[in-house]
Amino acid sequence: MKLTHFKDINFLPAIKALFKELNVPMNYVADEPTTAKEILKDTYKENETFRLVDDVYFVGMVDDAAFEGNQSLETEKIKSDYDGILIFGITLHPRPNNLLPTRSQLAEISRAFNREFYYTPVVLVFKYKDDQKNYLAFANTERLKYKQEWREGEKAGKVSLLRDIDIQKPHAGHERIIAELQIPLTGRNAVDSFAKLYNYWQEVFNVSILNKKFYQELSNWYFWAINHVKFPSEPTIEDAHRKEANLDDLIKEHNATNVIRLLTRLLFTWFIKEKKLVPDELFDLDALQKDILNEISPYHENGMFKDANKESVYYKAILQNLFFASLNCPIEADETDRRTRGFRELTTKSGKEARGKHQGIDYLMRYEEYFKDSEAFLDLMNKSVPFLNGGLFECLDDKENKILLDGFSDNLKGYKEQLIVPDYLFFGATEHVDLSPEYGVKNKGTKQAAVKGLINILHSYKFTVTENTPVEEDVALDPELLGKVFENLLASYNPETKTTARKQTGSFYTPREIVNYMVDESLIAYLKNAIKDWNLGDEELDQKLHQLSSFDPGNPFAEDEKLTKQIVKAIDECKILDPACGSGAFPMGILQKMVHMLQKLDPENIIWKEVQKNKAKQAADDAFEIEDKEERSERLREIDEAFDRSINDPDYARKLYLIENCIYGVDIQPIATQISKLRFFISLVVDQRKNNDKPNFGIRALPNLETKFVAANTLIGIDKPKDQLNIFDGGEIKKLESQLKKVRHKLFSARTKDTKLKYREKDEELRSAIADELKQSGWPNDTAEKLAAWDPYDQNASSTFFDPEWMFDVKAFDVVIGNPPYINTKSGIQSAFKKYYKERYNSATGQFDLFSLFIELSLEHSKILSLIVPKPIINNENYEVLRRLINDCGVQTLVTGSNIFENAGVESCIFITNPNTKKTRIEHFNFTRGFKHLFKVASENFNKLPFKIFNTLIYPDEYEIIDNIQRNSVNLETIIEIFRGVESGKKDKTINSNGQGHELLRGEDLSQFKIQDTNLWIDADFSNTSKFKTKELYKSPKLCIRRVGNKVTTAIDLKNKVSLNTVYNCHLKSGNHENYWGLCALLNSSLINYWFFKVYILDDVLFPYQRVSQLGKIPIKNVYEDSVLILLSKILHFNRDSLINAIVDSVVLNLYFSDHMKEREIDVLEFVERDMQKVMHGREFDSLDDAEKEKVIEQLHATWSDPENEAVKRMAQFKKKSPDILKPILES
């Protein structure tokens, strides 16, 4: 595409030329420009964004008429949804300081056009510039076919943006996407109508497709790389013996961890490169070869050049020096940090070896011999790379104890270590390799997987530092992608999940839409509870809070200044934990949404700044030591600097203090917490303004987040004395706690390694002092020592326990949110952990899942939970204890749906608890329509159902019916015993057709009241009790229930048939055998099947298995001995008759709802009994021969075929006279 048109000719002709190249026909509208205010009559706003607009060109319309060569309908005449796209061109002038328009500004303009022309989708082409270049942007706004007014007013349409396209020299990623916009005119995929064009472009602008392409390339690279690298401290055979593991597996895990750490650092660097904070030359092979490095081996060589690959020049000289000696070291020393960038001296001026001078100093550059001009390289770094701090680029080597992890050393041989990361892993040309062992799947894609250098992969995609939101996204790779990528890569080497992870893509990462929903509902629940006096009704409050959390503009509380201040303060005081944070999807979602709320509540940051200053003053006033009070002015200066808009965008201060005070994460994998921190770092960097005239380019050093995201086993706690559940009780401990809190605040903003070491040592001293005090106050010694030994600053360690009070100084959280791991105890959990879990958690019974323990633990830490967990939790009887705990806390929302996780092997659901809720909101989710509100139901109703199941398909009015059915009943399991049949399939060798053994009964032979005889037998060996059970089990009479089906299907066996396990064999515990017939009639009735289907069949499952436990809970009233019911059952056993079957249903209804039906004069039992007496003449049905039985049935059929029959007339009135009970049952 010739984007230079936009430089060479006027804007309007350039747009027309571009669309012609894209093969898109258009009917032009206007040649003269207008103003934004003129064209956006209803949606223009007088603000900074709209004032950027210079000219607006109404270019034309693309619709079916344009494709057919006809004129389009005039836009003024379009009064309803119209299949066409309006094209507008918009020129913008720069923001102050020659800054480009932000994504939010482009999206705000796009959304205004979309709302102005709401009958027709809109595509905008923007043109703008800075002091150096001209740029284009394309905006595509989602066409909405529905609204969610109950949740957030008008749903904001999602805007997808392809922006900051350099007209003169477009990025390769931009070029590829623009080329894809060109529509095919021939072939099977030809685009020849508006509908096809719309769908085609939606796919081009689909960020998820872009993400998948990138993930596949990066995943291939990752599995390729772990087989070609070698890192220090590689596991040994001794390690394998000690861990009882395979050495090769340990080495792969070691390589995987280090490759992921490398990826973490490099991708962070790649993102900040978008802010011009890292020179492009470091990633340009030509520049590296020509100007920077003496030698580099970018291609994968075999034979005589193979050893050159092992030098790892690029990784060592460029990346390690960038990570550890540039981003982690100030450019020049200042009064607080004495470090200065430079190369480590290996020789003195006289030529003598000088290794000892800089021994163990990790902030100095290494590998000087690899550079053409080391001073030029240092100058290049100092001209653009700021010192960032934050721990991400802290070298993990412990050279004092000779333990290398990163291997940042000129003398690896002296440590007897190897570091091999070949240059071709970064710059290698495309080759095809067999990755099927790594993926665990054999197909063409894995056996001939395409791989190439990582830098080459990154160059082919456009990146953006701003995280996408559900309503605003760049058609580029955003930092959320890090979460998606690493969540799956982490899972791929985790022993508990690696098999699944290798075969799936994306299943381990919670989708953005789900995160946004759960965050919204959690924060709304918290705010409702945090502020006691809203002076608003429940519905109005709910609506306004949803408006606040929505992406629509405006503060719904703007008219109440006092309430607005209360909400801002409540946000600041909120403590939120993700107990299994992974790569930070939920913590990042929380941060984004809290920032968004603050933007709307306090756009100028006036209240937020006041809150932070008041806290700092209060902390000083409460301080124990004079020096704390003296530090108040320093803290206030820090606050002023954070809020200084000449240095940072307003969101920087919002994020900084939310991160410090509100958001916490835990994960068992240290590398996962590193990735969470990385995303938070990027979110802070994006809001800082680079200024080349200021020290460190105006970039503030990143905070240290070691006590915000910790690596620990969340499920293992510490033993506390029963009379002292809080760690920091008592005067001296309280004083030490205050000091520890002060130290950790200082560490949060510490910049220098010396400062960090100083306060880390102080942290350790205070932990030890507190541990000593705990011992003296009666705490177990091993617990106190365990607390003291926990080191939050060891990036490679994962704590064997988790205690939020000790690690975060938080006793209870306001919200716990997340996606806990779905791991069953069968999946290799260590036996020691299993033993602890069973002793510690009520829900750890049988074959339990870890997610259930996370739920139970989370309920102890917070009353507001928002968790996404496997769907069986809502109805599987094994989770009854857990459901009781959840419901006791109050279930605010239950969400079920399909494909919540793409490609996931297990269905999921979302539940949100809130102790102040009395009704549960039931919702459904799918990716096409989003979240749909179904109804609300009283939470107490869940306790009425068997196993306390959370049924999401029972509507509120149906609970009354279920309650009536269950009232004064007993469970079926108290009357009969239920057993499965022979544990064998249909093709078992003992099954025959020659009459050998016992007659066989299969599930398919059984229908309501009837058992079909087949010419099949089974030669059962009852000595094999595990397979055939006992002979007594099959003795007749017995009640048989089909195991598979979505309704209860029952019949009586009178022939001692031996059944397969597709049939349940049921025997009365006591009583007359005649009762089998009454039970058979009840179980086959519409009433019992209504109950069973409503209570248990929660999905459209074609062939659900009915479990013994489910059948056992069927509510049976003491009516199964009724003689009418028994006789009707025997009749239907002899010969099925649909009319008599309907009579059975009516009799069962009468027996269960006798008072209700009598009141409405629709009771039938008396009349049915009278009719039957007339036919039977006092005879017993069992004593009749077959001909007589047939005659009885014929007479009854004739009787009940008469519309004037009293029983029949009353049955006809059931639905009319009982619309609330009988009608739903009969129509179900």
Dump pLDDT digits (tens) for 80-91.
777 889 999 999
Q: Looking at the chain, how many residues does it have?
A: 1228
Backbone angles phi, psi at 275, to 5 degrees: -95, 15
Residue 1170: how many other CB atoms lie within 10 Å: 11
Dump pLDDT digits (tens) for 926-946.
766 677 888 889 888 998 899
Kindly list the distances between the CA atom of residue 299 and the CA atoms of 312, 429, 452, in Å, as whole numbers in the listed order. 12, 7, 10
Q: Is the pLDDT of residue 497 over 80?
A: no
Q: Is the pLDDT of residue 987 over 90?
A: no
In angstroms, how far is CA 1107 from the centroid of its own chain? 31
Half-sphere exposure of 639 (CA within 13 A, CB side): 20
In sequence order, what DSSP letters do the residues of 650-687 get, joined into one string?
HHHHHHHHHHHHTEEEEES-HHHHHHHHHHHHHHHHTT
pLDDT at site 504: 44
In which band, very low, low, confident or very high, does the pLDDT at 498 lie, cut at 50, 70 and 90?
A: low
Least confident of 354-368, 499-513, 551-565, 760-774: 499-513
Return d(Cα 202, Cα 468) in angstroms, integer: 17
CA 112, 113, 117, 119 dihedral sign is: negative
| Among candidate residues 974, 1009, 958, the one with its CA nearest the CA of residue 1116 | 974
Dump pLDDT digits (tens) for 259-286.
988 998 999 899 899 888 999 999 999 9
Q: Is 879 helix (H, G, I), strand (E, B) or coil?
A: helix
* Inter-residue contact 846 to 878 (CB < 8 Å): yes
Q: Is the pLDDT of residue 186 over 80?
A: yes
Return d(Cα 843, Cα 1122) in angstroms, integer: 42
% of the chain with per-residue pLDDT over 70: 92
Higher pLDDT, 78 or 73: 73
Dump pLDDT digits (tens) for 132-177.
899 999 998 876 543 344 343 334 468 899 999 999 999 988 998 9
Q: Is the pLDDT of residue 131 over 90?
A: no
How high does pLDDT run on average in the chain? 88
Q: Is 1188 helix (H, G, I), strand (E, B) or coil?
A: helix
**Domains of the chain, CATH where assigned:** 5-205 (no CATH), 207-275+430-507 (no CATH), 277-421 (no CATH), 510-808 (no CATH), 820-952 (3.40.50.150), 970-1227 (3.90.220.10)
Return d(Cα 1066, Cα 1033) in angstroms, integer: 8
Output helix, strand, coil percentages for the chain, rounded to the nearest 5. 45, 15, 40
- The tokens of 232 are what? 């220090």
pLDDT at site 1212: 96
Return d(Cα 1008, Cα 1133) in angstroms, integer: 8
Measured distance between the N- and C-terminal CA atoms of the chain, rounded to whole angstroms: 60
Return d(Cα 500, Cα 699) in angstroms, integer: 42
Dump pLDDT digits (tens) for 289-336.
999 999 998 988 765 446 666 789 999 999 999 999 999 999 998 877
Alpha helix ranges (H) inside 349-443: 374-382, 424-427, 436-439
Q: Is the pLDDT of residue 510 over 70?
A: yes
Residue 29: how many other CB atoms lie within 10 Å: 16
- The tokens of 475 are what? 């058609």
Return d(Cα 990, Cα 996) in angstroms, integer: 9
% of the chain with per-residue pLDDT over 90: 54
How much is the average pLDDT of 2-19?
Answer: 91
- The tokens of 43 are what? 């949606």
In which band, very low, low, confident or very high, does the pLDDT at 554 lie, cut at 50, 70 and 90?
A: confident
Cis omega before residue 1037 (within 30°)? yes
Q: Residue written as tokens 């209700």? A: 1156
Dump pLDDT digits (tens) for 34-46.
999 999 999 999 9
pLDDT at site 862: 92
Q: Residue 923 pairs with which residues in a beta bridge?
A: 895, 933
pLDDT at site 606: 95
CB burial string 160-181: b at 16+ within 10 A, e below: bbbbbbebeebbebbbebbeeb
pLDDT at site 781: 87
Q: Which amino acid is at 327?
A: L
Return d(Cα 670, Cα 794) in angstroms, integer: 9
How much is the average pLDDT of 1083-1093?
Answer: 95
Dump pLDDT digits (tens) for 384-426.
999 987 577 888 888 888 889 999 988 887 777 889 999 999 9
pLDDT at site 1085: 96
Least confident of 73-87, 450-464, 491-505, 947-961: 491-505
pLDDT at site 1096: 87
Q: Which amino acid is at 798?
A: S
- The tokens of 668 are what? 């068992």
Higher pLDDT, 721 or 856: 856
Residue 258: how many other CB atoms lie within 10 Å: 25
How much is the average pLDDT of 1186-1196?
Answer: 95
Backbone angles phi, psi at 1067, to 5 degrees: -125, 135
Q: Is the pLDDT of residue 506 over 50?
A: no
